[in-house]
Every structure is written in structure tokens, then in C-alpha cells.
Amino acid sequence: MNQMRYRCRDCTYQGSSLMAGGSCPACGSFNMRAVTAAPAPAAPAKTRRLQLVLLVLLWTTFAGVVLAKLVD
């Protein structure tokens, strides 16, 4: 079950409950806002694949340089 989340704009209280009159439980302010979670945008597959290839290439280069220094 998904509960509604609230945030006080005066004291930055964040929670899932309000007081009886709709005020903030922390400071008593009525300056409350309902917060909705936005879904995170997914990275395109092509960009993700390029990142992984670059990651492997750089780590391999780094390991080669370290091994070359150790051998000398």
C-alpha cells in the first residue's frame, strides 16, 4: 500500500502523517505540501553499453601500466 508523503515548507519535516487539522506535527505550520516520487529516468541502452566498454578499457589500461611499472 502506497502512503501519501508530506513535507513542511517551514521546518522541512518529511513524513506520512499530519496532525488532525492538517498542520505539521513538528512545528504546527499549515504550510504543507504533498510530495510525489518521480520515477528516475533510465539511461538509454546505447549510452550504458558505451560506458561499460569505456570502463573496461580504462581499467585494462591502468592494470597494464601498473604491471609494466612492477616488471621494470
Do both 26 and 50 map to the same domain? no
DSSP string, 3-53: PPEEEETTT--EES---TTS--TTT--S-EEEE-PPPPPPPPHHHHHHHHH
Do both 26 and 48 map to the same domain? no
Do both 2 and 25 map to the same domain? yes
Do both 3 and 34 map to the same domain? yes
Do both 1 and 34 map to the same domain? yes
Q: Supply the pLDDT for residue 32.
A: 84
Query: Which domain range does residue 47 map to?
Result: 40-72
Model-level pTM?
0.44
How many Cβ atoms are within 10 Å of 10's Cβ, its own excluded?
13
* CATH number for the domain harbouring residue 34: 2.20.28
Domain count, the chain: 2
Reported as a single tens digit per residue, the pLDDT across 16-68 is 877 778 888 888 888 888 887 667 777 677 888 999 999 999 999 999 999 99
